[in-house]
Amino acid sequence: MRVDAALSPLDIDLLPARDLRATTAVVFDVLRATSTMVTALANGVTEIYPVASIPEALELKGRMPRVLLAGERRGVPFDGFDLGNSPLDYRKLAGERIVSLTTNCTAALRACANAGEVLMGSLLNMGALVEYLKEQEPANLLLVCAGTVREAALEDLFGAGMLCSNFREVDMTDAAKIAASVFRKYQEDPVHCLHESLRGRALMADGLRDDIRWCAHRSLYAVVAEMRDGVIRTK
């Protein structure tokens, strides 16, 4: 297996030009998009539609009136939306379909849409991801770190490094080794890693410390989530 990583949005910008048909891509947006998606699916949400703008979300709502709209700014849902982005609010939505407004995560997902497989990565489903990838043995594994605005995100590198640290005797690019080194630095205290990150500090300033602690749980859910044709579902 060859393991590579896109460590920031600048790397993600280059992905559409790559041939990813023989690649399994795992997208990490640990604080909080992929953690929220994994939490939702583990608790019975059936489908998630990631979008990048309010008009796109409203257009989908017009075609599918029963979906829930999810998205927020500084902990407050957008006007007319049903949910924010806190994973803690997604534990009692069994049977629902959700339109999820994110910025970096949606961009990352769409950049690797032509990959052979696109999976959601978080600490919450790490054990299930590792087990699945060891069973499938993809020839190429790409760890996609969604980042914060246009910068790399410490927590995404940590999650990507945690995943690749579970594989031995693989061919790791320098980018994957960088992610693995971030994991080694913080492996004894994931909460500290998330607190130290730019996004983590912003969430704490908004009073969302409980979200950080939730996202730091390892292998809480046995969920493997895949995006196919722009929709995220459990495999």
Does 192 fall in a domain? yes
Q: Please say if the pLDDT value at position 178 is more than 90.
A: yes
**Structural domain includes residue 156:** yes
CA-based radius of gyration for the chain? 16
pLDDT of residue 76: 81
Domain with 149, as residue range(s), is 2-225
Nearby residues of 85 by Cβ (< 8 Å), 6 or more positions away = 32, 33, 36, 70, 71, 72, 100, 102
Residue 192 Cα distances to 126, 205, 230, angstroms: 18, 15, 33
Write out the H or E segment, with its range, that includes residue 40. helix 33-42
Rounded Cα–Cα distance for residues 166 and 196 (Å): 24
Total structural domains within the chain? 1
Token pair for 215: 């996202």
The stretch 5-31 carries a mean pLDDT of: 98
67-79 pLDDT tens trace: 999 999 877 899 9
pTM of the full predicted structure?
Answer: 0.97
Question: Could you tell me if residue 204 is inside a domain?
Answer: yes
Residue 58, token pair as written in the block: 């409203």
- pLDDT confidence tier of residue 169, bands split at 50, 70 and 90: confident
Which of 31-45, 54-68, 71-85, 116-130 shows the lowest per-residue confidence on average (mean pLDDT)? 71-85
Per-residue pLDDT reduced to its tens digit, 117-143: 999 999 999 999 999 999 999 999 999
Cα separations (Å) of 93 from 84, 108, 124, 198, 210? 13, 25, 18, 30, 19
Find out whether 178 and 5 touch, Cβ atoms under 8 Å: yes
* CATH number of the CATH domain containing 215: 3.90.1560.10
For residue 197, what pLDDT band results from cuts at 50, 70 and 90? very high
Neighbours of 169 (CB within 10 A): 5
Query: What is the C-alpha separation between 153 and 32, in angstroms, rounded?
Result: 11
Residue 232 lies in a domain: no
Among 175, 174, 180, 146, which residue's Cα sits nearest to residue 160? 180
Judge whether 172 lies within some domain. yes
Mean pLDDT of 37-50: 98
Residue 178 lies in a domain: yes
Q: Percentage of the chain with pLDDT > 90?
A: 97
Q: How confident is the model at residue 168 (pLDDT cuts 50, 70, 90)?
A: confident
